[in-house]
Chains A and B, each alone.
Chain A
Amino acid sequence: MTTMETSKNMSTSNILPTTNVASLEARGIHAWFGSHHVLSDINLDFAPSTVTALIGPSGCGKSTFIRTLNRMHEFIPGAAMAGEVLLDGKDVYAPGTDVTKIRLKIGMVFQKPNPFPSMSIGENVLSGLKLAQLKVANKDDLLEECLERAGLWKEVKDRLNAHGGSLSGGQQQRLCIARALAVSPQVLVMDEPCSALDPGSTLKVEETISQLKASMTIIIVTHNMQQAARVSDYTAFFLSDGGPGQMIEYAPTSDIFSRPQDQRTENYVTGRFG
Chain B
Amino acid sequence: MTIIEVKPTKPWAATPADRFRDIVILLGAIVASFLFVAATPMKGKLAYFFTFFFFYMCATAGYKLVTRGNMAARDALVSSVVSIGAVATLIPIISILATVVSKGVKGLHWSLFTTDMSLATPTDPIVAGGLLHAITGTITLVVLSLIISVPIGILTALYMTEIKGRLIGPIRFLVQAMSGVPSIVAGLFILSSVLYPITKAYSGFMGVLALSILMIPTIARTSEEVLNLIPNDLREAGVALGGTQWRTVAMIVLPAAKSGLVTAMILGVARIAGETAPLLLLTGGGDRVNPNPFDGPMGSLPYYIWKSFNAGSPEAITRAWAGLLVLVLLVLILFTAARMLGGKKK
Contacts of B240 in A (CB 8 A): 70, 72, 103, 107-108, 110, 180
Contacts of B346 in A (CB 8 A): 120, 162-163
Contact B236 A131 (CB under 8 A): no
Contact A132 B242 (CB under 8 A): yes
CB nearest neighbor in A for B346 = A163
B11 at the interface (CB under 8 A from A): no
Interface size on B, residues (CB 8 A): 22
Name B233's contact: one of A112, A119, A133 (CB within 8 Å): A112
A181 → B minimal CB distance (Å): 11
B25 at the interface (CB under 8 A from A): no
B29 → A minimal CB distance (Å): 48
B274 at the interface (CB under 8 A from A): no
A180 to B238, CA, bound (A): 10
Contact B237 A114 (CB under 8 A): yes
Name A131's contact: one of B164, B233, B248, B256 (CB within 8 Å): B248
Contact A180 B233 (CB under 8 A): no
Contact B256 A116 (CB under 8 A): yes
Contact B242 A183 (CB under 8 A): yes
Contact B242 A72 (CB under 8 A): no
B241 at the interface (CB under 8 A from A): yes
Contact A103 B231 (CB under 8 A): no
A186 at the interface (CB under 8 A from B): no
Contacts of B291 in A (CB 8 A): none
Contact B236 A72 (CB under 8 A): yes
B247 at the interface (CB under 8 A from A): yes
A117 to B164, CA, bound (A): 24
A100 at the interface (CB under 8 A from B): yes
Using known A-B contacts A72-B240, A107-B240, A183-B241, determine if residue A131 contacts B251 with beta carbons closer than 8 Å. yes
Contacts of B238 in A (CB 8 A): 116, 127, 131
A77 to B165, CA, bound (A): 12
A101 to B164, CA, bound (A): 24
Contacts of A83 in B (CB 8 A): none
Contact B247 A133 (CB under 8 A): yes
Contact A131 B234 (CB under 8 A): no
Contacts of A127 in B (CB 8 A): 238, 241, 251-252
A139 → B minimal CB distance (Å): 16
A118 to B235, CA, bound (A): 13
B151 at the interface (CB under 8 A from A): no
Contacts of A100 in B (CB 8 A): 239, 242-244
Using known A-B contacts A118-B256, A163-B346, determine if residue A75 contacts B236 with beta carbons closer than 8 Å. yes
Q: Which 4 A-B pairs have the closest CB atoms?
A: A131-B243, A104-B242, A118-B255, A132-B242
Query: 24 A-B Cβ contacts within 8 A?
Result: A72-B236, A100-B239, A100-B243, A101-B242, A103-B240, A104-B241, A107-B240, A108-B240, A110-B237, A110-B240, A114-B233, A117-B234, A128-B242, A128-B243, A131-B241, A131-B244, A131-B247, A131-B248, A132-B242, A132-B243, A163-B346, A176-B237, A179-B241, A180-B241
Question: A residues touching B (Cβ–Cβ < 8 Å)?
Answer: 70, 72, 75, 77, 100-101, 103-104, 107-108, 110, 112, 114, 116-120, 127-128, 130-133, 162-163, 176, 179-180, 183
Interface contacts beyond A110-B236, A116-B237, A132-B243: sample of 18 additional A-B pairs, CB < 8 Å, sorted by A:
A70-B240, A100-B239, A100-B242, A101-B242, A103-B239, A103-B241, A103-B242, A110-B237, A112-B233, A116-B252, A119-B255, A128-B241, A131-B248, A132-B242, A163-B346, A179-B241, A183-B241, A183-B242
